Amino acid sequence: MRLFEILLILINVPFVLWGFSPRGRPKWTAVFPLLSMMLIGLHLAVEGYRWQMVPAYLLTLILLWQGIRPFLNTRQAKRPFVILGNALLMLLLIAAAALPTLLPVPQLPDTTGPYAVGTTTLALVDETRLEPYSNDPDDKRELVMQIWYPANPTGSEPEAVYLPHLEIAGPIIAERFGLPAFLFNHVNLTPLHIRQDAPILENDASFPVILFSHGLNSIRVQSMTIVRELASHGYVVAAVDHTFAAALTVFPDGRIVFYDAKRLFTNGKSNPEEANQLVKQWANDLGFMLDQLMLWQAEAGNRFNGRLDFSRVGVFGHSTGGAATIEFCMKDGRCDAGVALDSWVLPVSDNVLTDGPTQPFMFINTPRWLGERNASQGMRIFESLPNDAYNLTLAGTQHYDFTD
């Protein structure tokens, strides 16, 4: 719970408890709900509304009425009804405290790097590729790309939100996990300490580049903790929503492309054979991101002009994005190192099993995700790697521990 939320609950406690006194509440105790109303105003102005606080708002309004009633000379209820009413208020107080405690505003770990972080988002079209999953065979591949970078904020830039287009994305993500549609409506109250479109850090350094690929039916911001941490240490990190295979992709003109398994797989269920095309497409998305960054590196007036170090390019991905990372590093020599986080490796191309990426590579796994077949394939890839290679399994972890 946040500061004003805690204070709101605490100030309501004595007024509720005083209701159980045989003598009732003294008139002066009306100051408690008045203070609570002031706290609600501060809470809404500074911290922002969230639905978990509705019982606390309702309780405060009821207590305010209870506080001003003695000054109105209204008829007092009989004692049994007073006791019953106070018992109900106690239950409401418990609910008011429990709900925001059990469902708090998410908090990300503080970054440990020396730099502030900025971000920018762009919609791009790859004119060299057709979109195989579109209804129109002539459509080009369209992507929404987001970049995080060391920044020099002026103080006027708005704070970036955790989940853009929350009113659309929140219910979609909740549905994926079998949760009520409204459950994630408060995630944008999470303080990111990232400034939207802030100027890039002003120094003589050029920054290493890292590309990120999310998991199937996920989103580009799924691992914000990792991305933000890297940017705070002087890396430029880029990610896209892999259109049609992301949970949703929202374009600036209002178009929304949702995940649709039936477009990706014949029977609507993921399988390694058809996912190979998907993984290759995602690898091409990674290459397209890198192409764009190289164009902006040479573009006069662009915030990234002359600021990127393409002799140090890393790639990492989670789940299906891990397979895309392997696939990309196999075919694109611009990749200098790769990390695959609990990857679905069954869809990778056959030559990966024998040749493997030549760059330094690390696999970080959970103990049991996707079973023995996926684990065995991952081990085959690991053993085929000719250079520095690491294979780490983290005890007690689960697949989504690599996300926020």
Residue 22, pLDDT score = 80
Contact of 162 with 48, CB cutoff 8 Å: no
pLDDT tens-place values along the chain, 404 residues long: 999 999 999 999 999 998 888 887 888 999 999 999 999 999 999 999 999 999 999 999 999 999 998 888 766 666 676 778 889 999 999 999 999 999 999 899 999 999 999 999 999 999 999 999 999 999 999 999 999 999 999 989 999 999 888 888 888 888 877 888 888 888 899 999 999 999 999 998 899 999 999 999 999 999 999 999 999 999 999 999 999 999 999 998 889 999 999 999 998 988 988 999 999 999 999 999 999 999 999 999 999 999 999 999 999 999 999 999 999 999 999 999 999 999 999 999 988 888 889 999 999 999 988 889 999 999 999 988 887 999 999 999 999 999 98
Whole-number Å distance between alpha carbons of 266 and 277:
13
Residues 13, 15, 16, 21, Cα dihedral to 10°: 130
Q: What is the pLDDT of residues 5-28, one digit of tens each?
A: 999 999 999 999 988 888 878 889
Distances (CA, A) of 226 to 117, 170, 223, 277: 13, 21, 6, 28
Sign of the CA dihedral with 367 first, then 214, 231, and 326 last: positive
Contact of 314 with 336, CB cutoff 8 Å: yes
pTM above 0.85, yes or no: yes
Q: List, in order of start, the domains of the chain with CATH numbers.
A: 3-102 (no CATH), 116-402 (3.40.50.1820)
Query: What residue has token string 């290493």?
Result: 208
Whole-number Å distance between alpha carbons of 155 and 37:
31
Residue 246, pLDDT score = 96
